Structure 1
Amino acid sequence: MSIITLTTDFGTKDHFVGSVKGTIYSELADARIVDISHQIAPFNITETAYILKNAYKGFPDGSIHIIGVDSELNEENKHIALKLDNHYFICANNGVISLLTAEIKPEKIVEINIHDRVETSFPVLDIFVKVACHIARGGTLEVIGKVISDVKKLIELQPFISSDNTSISGNIIYIDNYGNSISNISKKLFQEVGKGRNFEITANRYTFKKIYSKYSEFVDFSVPKEIRQKEGSRLALFNSANYLEIAIYRSNLNTVGGAASLLGLNYRDKLTINFI
């Protein structure tokens, strides 16, 4: 039986997550359900896209991913199911999947058309679960929808490259649990545009001239402990997902604080890399 994952902005206080899981188990008693996250900021499809992109690859081929963020059906927000990278995704066609399709072409996309048989104000429960269980039983996508050629793009996920290739402008798209500010500038893009040139990153009123590959690389272990880099120092690095991150060394939101609060780098804020 395929794994079914859940990524939503439902939180855990209300009944929504429990209802979705219960309905899956009612249809597939031996289902395997994994929570990716239910703490997405409400309706934040950019944050959803970032989390999903970095989580789904850890699951085996054939896994089914239900995405319950901004999922209400309307004329501009149709429901889709697609097969991509040997995984299945069920979501609204609101751009949430475009971070994945920018790098990997889907094998098949369908616009779900079972709504005429199901009246619902809770589509994740009444539509997405039915589609996921259909796929888990070996059903094909064509049975639950009409084939379409593309998905809606989320423009704000795309960094801007200057016409003379001297700069990349991006935005903060995610604040992690440590308060670190993660941008939409990938290591691959940085290397393709920069071509080994020197650079300077400007984020708010702060500048960075070095990018680290891990947090501990920031520390000079050859100097005495009492004069090493301290908690609260700022740094830039490519994180485990290979996106440019502005971080506070050993940040703790209860004591030191994170980059979002200390440096004023919040969701949608701009940062620029200038190549010299």
Structure 2
Amino acid sequence: MALITLTTDFGLKDHFVGAVKGAIYSELPEATIIDITHEITPFNIAETAYILKNAYKSFPKGTIHIVGVDSELSIQNKHIAIYLDDHYFICPDNGIISMIASEINPTKIVEINIHDHIESSFPVLDVFVKVASFIARGGKLDVIGKAIEDYKKMVEIQPKINQEKTIIVGGVIYIDNYGNVISNISKKMFEEIGKDRPFKITARRYTFDKIYTQYNDIVNFESTDIRQFDGKKLALFNSANYLEIAIYRSNLKTVGGASTLLGLDYRDRITVEFINPSTPEFTTI
């Protein structure tokens, strides 16, 4: 039985998601289809990469992931199928796979070439579904495309480190349902560069010199009124191990989230500055 996931920016108002699912069931009546999300911000590659990276690992090996974000075929936006970490990904070659493949090298990548027989303005329906169905039946990637060695890298997903290794310059790549702001700075990078040095995190005019383990670490539960901590800002490494700026018990309809209260948005800069043992003050960016 084929297990196929869908990650798109289609939303749920239009017919697109239903049509794709119907096409899969027409090809594979016994398939199981799982929606990862259809609420990606339109054409947002970094957001897609972040969600996909943190969702796919929960699925069994052999799962086929269809990714439909900015998927219109062009000379600069080819369609690829990838076998990586025992999972299959069918997606445009627009940087979506960068965050996963930066840590795990793909076993095989092919450029899909069945377009010679299909003209479509809806490639997820007309191309990606056929490729997924072919793979689900045991088909080999070499049959549906020519092998290629590389994929398009997305530069903004990768934070930058200065030559002295005292500053990490990252940016906002995702804002979650609570308004929490997720950066592209991983815990692994923070620890490798920081080496237990004191630090200062800067996001717009706000600074943080402590990273919490979980959200409610900011609360003093011995206080007579713990509600006073609602709305406090904090930094932590989230469950995906990326640096996050959050508001405790944030609610976009009442208290607000870090994105609104701190004025942070997609691509805004977040920096981490470390103190060198021989330098008493923070370096200047």
Range into which the TM-score falls when normalised by the shorter chain: over 0.9
Structure 2: unaligned runs, 5 residues or longer: 276-285
Mapping 1:97-108, distance limit 5 Å: 97-108=97-108
Residue 74 (structure 1) aligns with:
74
Shift of the 51–227 alpha-carbon distance from structure 1 to 2, 3 Å rule, reads closer
Q: 1:64 & 1:13 partners in 2: Cα distance?
A: 25
Structure 1 segments, 4+ long, off by >6 Å, are none
Alignment of structure 1 residues 1-276 onto 2, 5 Å: 1-221=1-221, 223-226=222-225, 229-276=228-275
Give 1:2 deviation, angstroms. Answer: 2.4
Aligned residue identity for 2:3: I
Q: Following the alignment from structure 1 to structure 2, what is the Cα–Cα distance between the partners of residues 161 and 240? A: 23
Instruction: Tell me which amino acid in the other structure corresponds to 2:274.
Output: F
In 1, Cα distance between the equivalents of 2:191 and 2:218?
20
Shift of residue 224 of structure 1? 1.8
Distance (whole Å) between structure 2 residues aligned to residue 21 and residue 122 of structure 1? 13
Could you say what secondary structure the match of 1:173 adopts?
strand
Q: Distance in 2 between matches of 1:224 and 1:28?
A: 58
SS of structure 2 residue aligned to 1:58? coil
SS of 2:57 mapped into structure 1 = helix
Deviations 1:191-243 (A, max 9, x none): 0000000001011000000001111112122x323267521110000000000
| Equivalent pair of 1:211/1:235 in contact (CA under 8 Å) | yes
Paired with 2:228 and 2:253, the residues of 1 have a C-alpha distance of 20
* CA contact 2:212–2:237 (8 Å) conserved in 1: yes
- Aligned-partner Cα distance in 2 for 1:228–1:119: 58
- State the TM-score, normalizing by the size of structure 2: 0.95
Instruction: Note the C-alpha offset of 1:119.
Output: 1.0
Looking at structure 2, the residues matched to 91 and 11 of structure 1 have their Cα atoms a distance apart, in angstroms, of 18
Q: How many residues align?
A: 275
Whether contact under 8 Å (2:219, 2:226) holds in the other structure is: no
Report the secondary structure of 2:200's partner residue: strand
* Aligned sequence identity (%): 69
Letter in 1 for 2:42: P
Q: TM-score, normalised by structure 1?
A: 0.98
CA offsets 1:57-83 (integer angstroms, 9 cap, x no match): 000000000000000000000000010
Whole-angstrom CA distance in 2 between matches of 1:74 and 1:200: 43
Tell me how far apart the structure 2 counterparts of residues 273 and 147 of structure 1 sit (CA, whole Å): 40
- Matched-pair contact (CA < 8 Å) for 1:78–1:92: yes
**Does the 8 Å CA contact 1:220/1:228 hold for their aligned counterparts?**
no
| Conserved 8 A contact 1:233-1:248 | yes
CA contact (8 A) 2:218 2:229 kept: no
* Cα RMSD, aligned residues only: 0.8
